[in-house]
Amino acid sequence: MPELPEVEVTRRSVASRVQGARILAVRLGKPLRWPLDMAPGALAGQTVTDVGRRGKYLLLHLAPGGVLLVHLGMSGSLGFWREPPAPGPHDHFDLLTTAGVLRLHDPRRFGAVVWSPHADMGMAAKLLGKLGMEPLSADFDPARFHAGLRRRQAPVKQVLLGGDLVVGVGNIYASEALFMAGIRPTVAASRLSRPRADRLHAAIREVLARAVARGGSTLRDFVGVDGNAGHFQLESAVYGRAGQPCRACGAPIRRLIQGQRATYYCPVCQKA
């Protein structure tokens, strides 16, 4: 599933291509996770004024009004062409603009494109209203982060994946950040002291920023708007490395299942 780094990489590419472009038409393919909630023809003539991101949602702000929320789901990706090929069976949304065509490709159809009158209204408010702090912004405050951890008895990795305290720290990045902070993924979030929470806070920011710089992670389907795969997974410290030696101490990396997701950690570097 594309996580925050992959969506941020996509956002930057989309913004460089369609920001300022005028919408000419919209083509819909098979139904996605949620309906567009707007007659496709009504979007013609609108201008894409900005491309933002909230968690794993892209926000295409329109003038004279409204916003398109784009979610890549489990296997989705966006592509851009000045002269696109004919849509295939897994191409479910085309935004035809004066700059070119932005296309959502999604084999599993868990993605979505939804219109809302404002980012704080309608379906946008429902989808975005309960999201946690943005880890790459000034909103990600260490004191608030620690206070949120202290209120949760669940294992710290599960809390990171929940998205209501901090958004976008997906499975790969949670494992990597916990390793960098020296925290075992099974420890209860409420047990973390302020210094340990501060180390985790810094590790989350560093891991996510490095992943964005590497173009995200490509395990199966993700490619950027330019068609290139991400490379962060090639330098992971623990994720996907069960049985291999820890890059720091040499102990074999271990794997366990938490909430039906694989977790990787070093039993020596992450003692508690």
Is the omega angle on the peptide bond into residue 135 within 30 degrees of 0, that is, cis? no
Say yes or no: 148 and 207 in one domain: yes
**Domain containing residue 246:** 142-265
Total structural domains within the chain = 2
Running DSSP on this structure, what letter comes out for residue 166? Answer: B
| pLDDT computed for residue 54 by the predictor | 95
pLDDT digits (tens, 9 = 90+) for 58-81: 999 999 999 999 999 888 889 999
Say yes or no: 231 and 161 in one domain: yes
Say yes or no: 123 and 146 in one domain: no
Say yes or no: 48 and 151 in one domain: no
> Per the domain annotation, does 272 fall within a domain?
no
Instruction: Give the integer Cα–Cα distance in Å for 125 and 215.
Output: 29
> Per the domain annotation, does 135 fall within a domain?
no
pLDDT digits (tens, 9 = 90+) for 115-160: 999 888 889 999 999 999 999 999 999 999 999 999 999 999 999 9
Catalytically active residues, by annotation: 2-3, 56, 261
Q: What is the CATH number of the domain that holds 86?
A: 3.20.190.10
Say yes or no: 185 and 254 in one domain: yes
> Per the domain annotation, does 63 fall within a domain?
yes
> Per the domain annotation, does 181 fall within a domain?
yes
Running DSSP on this structure, what letter comes out for residue 22? Answer: B
Say yes or no: 121 and 11 in one domain: yes
- Measure the CA dihedral 170/174/180/186, to 10°: -170
pLDDT digits (tens, 9 = 90+) for 177-189: 999 999 999 999 9
Q: What is the CATH number of the domain that holds 170?
A: 1.10.8.50
Boundary of a domain, candidates 90, 106, 128: 128
> Per the domain annotation, does 88 fall within a domain?
yes
Higher pLDDT, 196 or 231: 196
The mean pLDDT value for 36-55 works out to 95
Say yes or no: 183 and 88 in one domain: no
Instruction: Give the integer Cα–Cα distance in Å for 203 and 194.
Output: 14
What percentage of the chain reaches a pLDDT higher than 70?
93
